[in-house]
A and B are shown apart, each in its own frame.
Chain A
Amino acid sequence: MPAGLYRALLTVAGAMAAIVLAVAISSVAIIAAGASPQAAFAALFNFGETERSVVNGITTMINRSVPLFIAGLAVAVGFRMNLFNIGVEGQYRIAAVCAAYVGSLFTAPAPIQIVAIMVVAAAVGGLYALIPALMKVGRGVNEVISTIMLNYIAINLTAFLVRGPFVGAREKGQLTTHTPVLPESAWFPDLNVVFEMFGLPAPRGGGLWGFLAVAILLGVGVWVVLERTRFGFDVMASGLNASAALASGVDPKKMVISAMVLSGAIAGLIGLPEILGDKHSFGSNFTPGLGFLGIAVALLGRNRPAGIAVAALLFGFLDRAQGPLQFASVPPSVIAIMQGTIVLLVVVANEITSRVALRREERRAAQQLGRNTPVEVAA
């Protein structure tokens, strides 16, 4: 079996084992909370009786997964070179409010309008991430600390902007404030047609966010950049061995800046599925915490786009069950416990599986020493 395939299979097996173990541990928590684990897990997989409710459930799950997937990608770009961008949280919020406001200022044909909003979001996120990058390169400030601090600034600045300079018209009796509503040309078309193709009813509400397609393209793009390009190679080399990268002519300062800005630019897009697909404005009740969850998603997905997609779907699947769990009289915070234990156990499992894979490789290399002839190599 090729070494790469073996490593991949081992990783998947490790993750599966970790999830099974996490289910066991969560059962203990559920029992401690005075509920029945059977009822809880039944609720987890209960998407409802009718076709429409199943469709709604799936839509909720995927809609939740899309921003998590983008957040995971943003975090992973930094993680790949040991750059801990904890600031995704702040970057996406400030980018979201700016993009929603700028998008509401003009009206253009839909493709132009949407692309312009995306460009604004990516630019704001990237610029906000440039601050910690410059601080690290220029003064050696640890990016973990600076991005955490910048999160506070961004969160409060966003709250100020949405109440003050960027505030839009408020309907009578409405308690939350919003940026002005986007023109219809900025409403991202939904993907309900996918359900209709299978003869299923369309989900209620905003439907299946069309931004899913953008997220998939983004995932493919990130994969291509990280795995196939020179830039991706430099990122990997800097992450695995910074001094070897330096000696090989990789400029560490340039890498810190470009990886951080790329990470911030992707982070800027996290809020768009919700803004373009559903809310059509940025409000003071906008979904928080996506950036922090992105860290867990990236860890779970081992910083690889395919893994992050699986992790985001898993998180979306668990989050969807918040409602059904309450109907089954299980405290929905069980979900948070499960997510936490899964992340922890998967990290442990990754450590174990990579050691096992390594030992196998060492053994194979040792076997080779027994032979004198050079090896046939499949290119």
Chain B
Amino acid sequence: MNTETLGTAPPAVELEGITKRFPGVVANHDIRITVEPGTVHAIVGENGAGKSTLMKILYGMQRPDEGTIKVNGAEMSFRTPSDAIAAGIGMVHQHFMLADNFTVLENIVLGAEPGRGGVLDATGARERIRQLAAGHGLQVDPDRLVEDLGVGDRQRVEILKVLYRGARILILDEPTAVLVPQEVEELFENLRELKAGGLTVIFISHKLDEVLSIADAITVIRRGTTVASVDPRDVTARQLAELMVGSELPTPETRESTVTDTVALKVSGLTMEADGHRPVPKGASAGAYVDRLRQEGRRLLLDDVSFEIHQGEILGIAGVEGNGQSELIEAIMGIRPVHGDIALGGEDISGWTTLRRREEGIGYIPEDRHRQGLLLEASLWENRVLGHQTRKPARKGVWIDRRAAKADTARIVEEYDVRTPSVDTLALALSGGNQQKLIVGREMSSGPRFLIAAHPTRGVDVGAQAAIWDHLRNARAAGLAVLLISADLDELIGLSDTLHVIYRGRLVARLDPSDVTPERLGGYMTGAIPAAEEA
């Protein structure tokens, strides 16, 4: 790094030759990173490249076998995260660690409560939070309940929590993974303010365009070691990606259209009340009932959603999260009751159970794999059976066919490149990308007619992303109909044959992915461009 222009201040963090071995494997090998104070320093790398281990070392959760950590020029040896916090290092985790039923203030002081004679000094804490918030442009009302806050606000609370403990060096672990584009912009604004306030930010990500727009310096990690430290002004996203994966960057472009005339799935007039499903009153038609709901000004999670997906077609749904996507998926899966009709291959399936829908050929890649997709404490082969417990090869009469299930899991492990020691490994031992590959492999294995793919590559590294895209494209070419829901606009535009935008539970626009710009799409998604009638 250029020490002349930065003066004599020592680096905020200096890692020298950090090596961390686990029995039989080297997770980190000779890591060298120098983070200058008052900068945003990005660390990029594939999932499993060793970023998490490195951050655990820096945050005192694991001790390195070799190498030195220097903070502000002084050599440190962290035993626990408390040591790291004492040295001014704070970590904002990817998954928020907030108590929903506490206020912002209570969450921030939790674990570091300012006391006055055994009583919480709320006034003093509020004053300090106000100061921190104003000083860094992190506007949050300290007295609001966290459960009422949006994702962006929650993240600001997390950052404030860390600042409140006196951190001068912030580690942000994939902070944009949960944010929509505008929130990302707001976060970056916050980060710039923090930087201006003299704080140092270590930013872990694999979203390269974001890294390029916010970072002052970038370090690339590949296979456990630092392969390059670059200046974002000198590189393009494509060059960075090549450094990261060491190969060509995948493109989400689909080739020739494979859309057929056969309708695989048709939904019409799907409507869902926000305050719990009520059956249509006797004698009234569903349409009239829904009209009445609308007139009464009831909030609707889904409002008259209709579309058709043909065999060989990928229909993408774009939208800011929380505009009805989850409800739409769960309605189609039969997990949540809904008004309106759903037909699979011309057959009305509205009355079918989730099990029947799955058996008849609906595949489901859920948006939250830990919540809906996996049994984390069960083995991989048992996870292969999940959702297919009534079908071949997992079932033999009333029995689970363990041998066949294991053999088929082995096939998925091979074909989908799931990196695991064995099919008996517990699902939670795998990295997110490998878990996702297993789910994709599982859902494809039963030869579905229609697939719901919700955020199929969320939190997945570039290599696995390319593989999953290829699998989706191949299945589409083989006649699969896919409902794709994603927050990654490049993925949506690149894979979809048809693109709808959902906003407040309504499909507000139908766009042609071949001539839509991210800007126009963003306009519909945020309601900035008013709803156009469907073509």
Query: Do A and B form a real pair?
Result: yes
Which chain A residues have a beta carbon within 8 Å of chain B's beta carbons? 2-4, 228-234, 236-237, 240-241, 243-251, 358, 361-371, 374-375, 377-379
Interface of A is mostly: helix
8 Å CB contact of A3 from B223, B373, B377, B425:
B425
Contact A244 B374 (CB under 8 A): yes
Q: Is B385 an interface residue (CB 8 A)?
A: yes
8 Å CB contact of B400 from A230, A249, A374:
A230
In the complex, chain A residues whose CB is within 8 Å of the CB of B385: 233
Question: Can you give 13 contacting A-B residue pairs, CB < 8 Å?
Answer: A2-B424, A3-B425, A241-B375, A246-B335, A247-B354, A251-B354, A251-B355, A361-B425, A363-B24, A365-B425, A365-B434, A367-B25, A374-B419
Contact A240 B377 (CB under 8 A): yes
Q: Given contacts A249-B387, A365-B419, is CB(A240)–CB(B366) below 8 Å?
A: no
In the complex, chain A residues whose CB is within 8 Å of the CB of B429: 358, 361-362, 364-365
Among B353, B374, B425, max chain A CB count under 10 A is at B425
Q: Given contacts A230-B398, A368-B421, is CB(A244)–CB(B22) below 8 Å?
A: no
In the complex, chain B residues whose CB is within 8 Å of the CB of A232: 400
Contact B372 A247 (CB under 8 A): yes
Q: Given contacts A241-B375, A247-B354, is CB(A369)–CB(B431) below 8 Å?
A: yes
B353-385 vs A, Cβ < 8 Å mask (1 yes, 0 no): 111111100001010000111111111001001
Inter-chain CA distance A249–B388, complex, in Å, is: 9
Within 8 A of A (CB), among B401-459: 402-403, 406-407, 409-410, 413-414, 417-426, 428-431, 434
8 Å CB contact of B422 from A3, A240, A249, A251:
A3
Q: Is B26 an interface residue (CB 8 A)?
A: yes
Q: Is B386 an interface residue (CB 8 A)?
A: yes
Inter-chain CA distance A293–B518, complex, in Å, is: 64
Contact A363 B398 (CB under 8 A): no
For chain B, the bracket of interface size reads 35 or more
Which chain B residues have a beta carbon within 8 Å of chain A's beta carbons? 22-27, 48, 223-224, 333, 335, 353-359, 364, 366, 371-379, 382, 385-387, 389-390, 395, 398-400, 402-403, 406-407, 409-410, 413-414, 417-426, 428-431, 434
Contact A365 B430 (CB under 8 A): yes
Instruction: Identify 4 new A-B residue pairs, CB closer than 8 A, beyond the known A4-B379, A237-B378.
Output: A3-B421, A370-B25, A375-B413, A379-B406
Contact A247 B399 (CB under 8 A): no
Contact B373 A240 (CB under 8 A): no
Inter-chain CA distance A292–B164, complex, in Å, is: 48
Contact A367 B22 (CB under 8 A): yes
State the 8 A-B residue pairs at the shortest beta-carbon distance, nearest first.
A249-B355, A248-B387, A377-B410, A361-B429, A367-B25, A247-B372, A365-B429, A364-B421
Inter-chain CA distance A252–B227, complex, in Å, is: 50
Inter-chain CA distance A187–B191, complex, in Å, is: 80
In the complex, chain A residues whose CB is within 8 Å of the CB of B374: 241, 244
In the complex, chain A residues whose CB is within 8 Å of the CB of B403: 379
Inter-chain CA distance A243–B387, complex, in Å, is: 12
**Cβ of A269 to closest chain B Cβ, rounded Å:** 22
Contact B410 A251 (CB under 8 A): no
**Cβ of B368 to closest chain A Cβ, rounded Å:** 9
Inter-chain CA distance A244–B429, complex, in Å, is: 18
In the complex, chain B residues whose CB is within 8 Å of the CB of A240: 375-378
**Cβ of A28 to closest chain B Cβ, rounded Å:** 32
Inter-chain CA distance A246–B333, complex, in Å, is: 10
Residue of A nearest to B423 (CB): A377
Inter-chain CA distance A247–B372, complex, in Å, is: 6
In the complex, chain A residues whose CB is within 8 Å of the CB of B376: 240-241
In the complex, chain B residues whose CB is within 8 Å of the CB of A3: 379, 421-422, 424-426
Contact B373 A377 (CB under 8 A): no
Contact A249 B353 (CB under 8 A): yes
In the complex, chain A residues whose CB is within 8 Å of the CB of B400: 228-230, 232-233
In the complex, chain A residues whose CB is within 8 Å of the CB of B399: 228-230
Q: Given contacts A229-B399, A247-B335, A247-B354, is CB(A366)–CB(B22) below 8 Å?
A: yes
Residue of A nearest to B27 (CB): A366
Residue of A nearest to B378 (CB): A240
Contact A358 B410 (CB under 8 A): no
**Cβ of A377 to closest chain B Cβ, rounded Å:** 4
Inter-chain CA distance A2–B426, complex, in Å, is: 12
Contact B382 A233 (CB under 8 A): yes
In the complex, chain B residues whose CB is within 8 Å of the CB of A366: 22, 25, 27, 48
8 Å CB contact of B419 from A231, A250, A368:
A368
Contact A247 B333 (CB under 8 A): yes
In the complex, chain A residues whose CB is within 8 Å of the CB of B425: 3, 361, 364-365
In the complex, chain A residues whose CB is within 8 Å of the CB of B382: 233, 236
In the complex, chain B residues whose CB is within 8 Å of the CB of A245: 386
Contact A375 B22 (CB under 8 A): no
Residue of B nearest to A224 (CB): B399
In the complex, chain A residues whose CB is within 8 Å of the CB of B353: 249, 251
Residue of A nearest to B374 (CB): A244
Contact A377 B375 (CB under 8 A): no
8 Å CB contact of A365 from B223, B335, B431:
B431
Q: Given contacts A234-B389, A358-B428, A369-B48, is CB(A249)–CB(B354) below 8 Å?
A: yes
Residue of A nearest to B404 (CB): A379
**Cβ of A378 to closest chain B Cβ, rounded Å:** 7
Inter-chain CA distance A49–B27, complex, in Å, is: 62
Inter-chain CA distance A363–B382, complex, in Å, is: 21
**Cβ of A245 to closest chain B Cβ, rounded Å:** 8
Residue of A nearest to B403 (CB): A379
In the complex, chain B residues whose CB is within 8 Å of the CB of A368: 419-421
Contact B386 A248 (CB under 8 A): yes
Inter-chain CA distance A348–B464, complex, in Å, is: 39
**Cβ of A304 to closest chain B Cβ, rounded Å:** 14
Q: Given contacts A246-B335, A251-B355, is CB(A377)–CB(B387) below 8 Å?
A: no
Contact A243 B422 (CB under 8 A): no
In the complex, chain A residues whose CB is within 8 Å of the CB of B402: 228
Inter-chain CA distance A364–B430, complex, in Å, is: 9
Residue of A nearest to B405 (CB): A379
Contact B421 A365 (CB under 8 A): yes
**Cβ of A84 to closest chain B Cβ, rounded Å:** 18
Residue of A nearest to B381 (CB): A379
8 Å CB contact of A230 from B22, B356, B389, B423:
B389
Contact B421 A367 (CB under 8 A): yes
**Cβ of A177 to closest chain B Cβ, rounded Å:** 44
Residue of A nearest to B223 (CB): A370
Contact B373 A244 (CB under 8 A): yes
Q: Given contacts A233-B382, A240-B378, A365-B430, is CB(A250)–CB(B335) below 8 Å?
A: no
Inter-chain CA distance A244–B386, complex, in Å, is: 8
Among B224, B410, B419, max chain A CB count under 10 A is at B419
Inter-chain CA distance A54–B376, complex, in Å, is: 48
Contact A236 B414 (CB under 8 A): no
In the complex, chain A residues whose CB is within 8 Å of the CB of B377: 240
Inter-chain CA distance A366–B373, complex, in Å, is: 21
8 Å CB contact of A363 from B25, B223, B358, B390:
B25
**Cβ of B23 to closest chain A Cβ, rounded Å:** 6
Inter-chain CA distance A79–B210, complex, in Å, is: 47
